[in-house]
Structure 1
Amino acid sequence: MNNNSSYTIEEVSQLLKISKLTVYDLIKKEELVAFRVGRQMRVDQHDLERYKIKNRTGIVQEEPFILGKQNESKNRNTKQVVISGQDIVLDMLSKYIEKHTSLTPLRLYNGSLNSLVSMYYEECDVVSVHLYDGETGEYNSPYVKRLLVSQPFIQINLVCRNAGIYVKKGNPLNIKNWNDLTQTQVTIVNREKGSGARVLLDEQLKMLGVSPRSLIGYENELTSHFAIASAVASGQADAGVGIENVAKMVNVDFIPMIKEQYDLVILKTKENDELVKIIKEAVNTTEFRSQLEQLHGYDLSLTGKVIYESS
């Protein structure tokens, strides 16, 4: 544990002996105040102690006015929404929401399936999904309908994007398709369980009748597209699955294999009516769409379309 005047979410969970998701839930419910430093959220020692006192005695002690506390007071009066997913477009959406509304976005960087599970337990307000279903050839809807079977939701397309295989510059092993990953001279690096890229690879291998465990490196897991591409670029692996935009940031070649739907899922509750309206408006504004158009490997032809809405 550090000796600074603020704590990371993981440190707070250790101090309170609760899960990180419970900490995020406390923040979402405005029971615990947090602030962001880049992509990381932190909690002031003062606010953590204040939370502990409140829950021990049932009251919150009045405090003298301190310069700089105005923003803290303002944050307590704004609704916080938790947005889960890893793509940069979610960071752009969060900034838009923060700029144009009174809502305060909080970011979680979980994979698609793990994000959906968090939503099932009402620990997220918005989740992004890119989950390929080999049986139907569809993205997302089969998974969301099965998991949120008892909860009404709306599924809106944010972008479509190119997904495929990262290989070393020049593609020295001449990898062209999913089946080439099974060659004995090819070592892959994999995404973590619950990520959309992991599901895509597993579904493609299942359609080929190939056991995932037969791939060399299948058990070697990293937790982001950037980490996968970097591992290939550095020679730790020959190939990995990811999205095209990241290949432009790292010194690797990219073999496009599929155009995937990257959708947003929001639970349909009375409390989320405003959030759904805001997101629908955001993805159709010239300001937001022009930002998306600057990204490589993204398709906006479905952006803003309601893919599915349960009654």
Structure 2
Amino acid sequence: MNSSLNAMEVAQMLNITKNTVYEMIKRGELPSYKIGRKIRVDKSDVENYINSQKNTFISNSMASFESTINMKPSSVKSGEIIISGQDIILDILCKMIESKTKNIRTYRSNIGSYNGLYDMYNNKVSMSSCHLWDSETDTYNTSFVKKLLPSIPCILINIAYRTQGFYVKRGNPKNIKNWNDLSRSGITMINREKGSGVRVLLDGKLNSFNISNTINGYKNEETSHLSVASCVARGGADVGIGNEKVSKQVDNIEFIPLQKERYDLVIKKTDLDNPVYKSIVYILSSKEFKDELEGLGGYDLKDTGKIVGQT
């Protein structure tokens, strides 16, 4: 039976507001139905929407998407800032950019870190968030930026640190504690899509521990932390991987911490002469931005706004 979601669950799955969900339903972009007086949306319809929107760009203006037009530009246009990434932090950043700069519209590209850097190389996005772990150096992001944006000098500004770990059912009935447990018989996992930071982390760990990727469920994919946690909560898998913050949003989920990741924003050095990008760098290091993130909870903000890497 298809899983049914309420408006708030859809909003969390898409990293948007509940009002935006209602607007999408009103415009016919998202199928829905009523149970009593409550609007419900099938999870499969949300997933179909996500798949249809890959590599399109969704406005995050202060009008809360009311004038959104899905776009697939060949390059970033003047007066636009397109930020690639999936964390709700980027919604806050977009809102602050629009409130503090004139004649700039911000857009979000809701794709994973690897594909975001690739699109940045091809000038399809202005900046990309990144949380890619390099198993060879046990470091985050810098080596991937060098590989995916060759000969393009960039700076990496820290947004936050997030804790990644396992989502298991409350009580951890299968006693899953570490990476090696994924290969145990009787364990089924739910994976993330290729190009996501979680998928890169998983594949790196499997390689480091010489674990075969023939794990039960390895080929079963979801496109967000929330979808992974929800799958585990309803018994679709025994374990998934995601960040700690999302685990607190899903009932019947327990979080097993494994690794703290560095979540950065990548900006081309050539863009830093542009007053708009100077304003963005200032926003990232501002007390106002940090206060907004502290209000969300679940993030380590010790280096927020600091340049933590260069290429």
| Secondary structure of 1:298 counterpart | coil
Identity across aligned pairs (percent)?
A: 46
2:202 maps to which residue? 201
Q: How does 1:13-162 map to 2 (within 5 A)?
A: 21=55, 38=65, 41-42=68-69, 79-102=79-102, 103-162=104-163
2:217 maps to which residue? 217
TM-score by length of 1: 0.75
Counterpart CA distance in 1 for 2:93 and 2:62 is 18
| Secondary structure of 1:42 counterpart | coil
1:179 aligns with 2:161: no
Q: CA deviation at 1:295?
A: 2.8
| Secondary structure of 2:69 counterpart | strand
Structure 1 runs not aligned, ≥5 long: 1-5, 9-18, 29-33, 45-76
Provide, for residues 172-228 of structure 1, a one-character-per-residue CA deviation record: whole Å limited to 9, x for no partner.
Answer: 11111111111111111000000000001111111100111x210000011001111
Q: CA deviation at 1:134?
A: 0.8
RMSD after superposition? 2.9
**8 A contact 2:286–2:305 mirrored in 1:** no
Counterpart CA distance in 1 for 2:242 and 2:152 is 31
Counterpart CA distance in 1 for 2:66 and 2:132 is 24
Structure 2 runs not aligned, ≥5 long: 1-26, 30-52, 72-76
Q: CA deviation at 1:40?
A: 9.2
Q: How many residues align?
A: 256
**8 A contact 1:85–1:109 mirrored in 2:** yes
Provide, for residues 135-185 of structure 1, a one-character-per-residue CA deviation record: whole Å limited to 9, x for no partner.
Answer: 100000011011111212111111011111100111111111111111111
**8 A contact 1:189–1:217 mirrored in 2:** yes
Counterpart CA distance in 1 for 2:144 and 2:181 is 28
Q: CA deviation at 1:294?
A: 2.2
1:239 aligns with 2:202: no
| Secondary structure of 1:96 counterpart | helix
Q: Could you tell me which amino acid in structure 2 is paired with residue 225 of structure 1?
A: H
1:165 maps to which residue? 166
Counterpart CA distance in 1 for 2:291 and 2:62 is 29
Q: CA deviation at 1:105?
A: 0.7
Q: Could you tell me which amino acid in structure 2 is paired with residue 42 of structure 1?
A: I
1:72 maps to which residue? none
**8 A contact 1:35–1:43 mirrored in 2:** no
Q: Could you tell me which amino acid in structure 1 is paired with residue 195 of structure 2?
A: G
Counterpart CA distance in 1 for 2:89 and 2:162 is 11
Q: CA deviation at 1:297?
A: 2.6
Counterpart CA distance in 2 for 1:35 and 1:99 is 8
1:257 maps to which residue? 258
Q: Could you tell me which amino acid in structure 2 is paired with residue 266 of structure 1?
A: I
Structure label with greater radius of gyration: 1
Counterpart CA distance in 1 for 2:192 and 2:180 is 18
Q: Could you tell me which amino acid in structure 2 is paired with residue 260 of structure 1?
A: E
1:229 maps to which residue? 229
**8 A contact 1:188–1:216 mirrored in 2:** yes
**8 A contact 2:101–2:276 mirrored in 1:** no
Counterpart CA distance in 1 for 2:257 and 2:66 is 29
TM-score by length of 2: 0.75
**8 A contact 1:244–1:296 mirrored in 2:** no
157 and 35 in structure 1: CA distance in 2 versus 1, 3 angstrom threshold = closer
222 and 147 in structure 1: CA distance in 2 versus 1, 3 angstrom threshold = same
Q: CA deviation at 1:268?
A: 2.3
Q: Could you tell me which amino acid in structure 2 is paired with residue 223 of structure 1?
A: T
Q: CA deviation at 1:122?
A: 0.7
Provide, for residues 51-100 of structure 1, a one-character-per-residue CA deviation record: whole Å limited to 9, x for no partner.
Answer: xxxxxxxxxxxxxxxxxxxxxxxxxx981110110001111111111111
Counterpart CA distance in 2 for 1:109 and 1:279 is 19
132 and 270 in structure 1: CA distance in 2 versus 1, 3 angstrom threshold = closer
Counterpart CA distance in 1 for 2:256 and 2:70 is 42
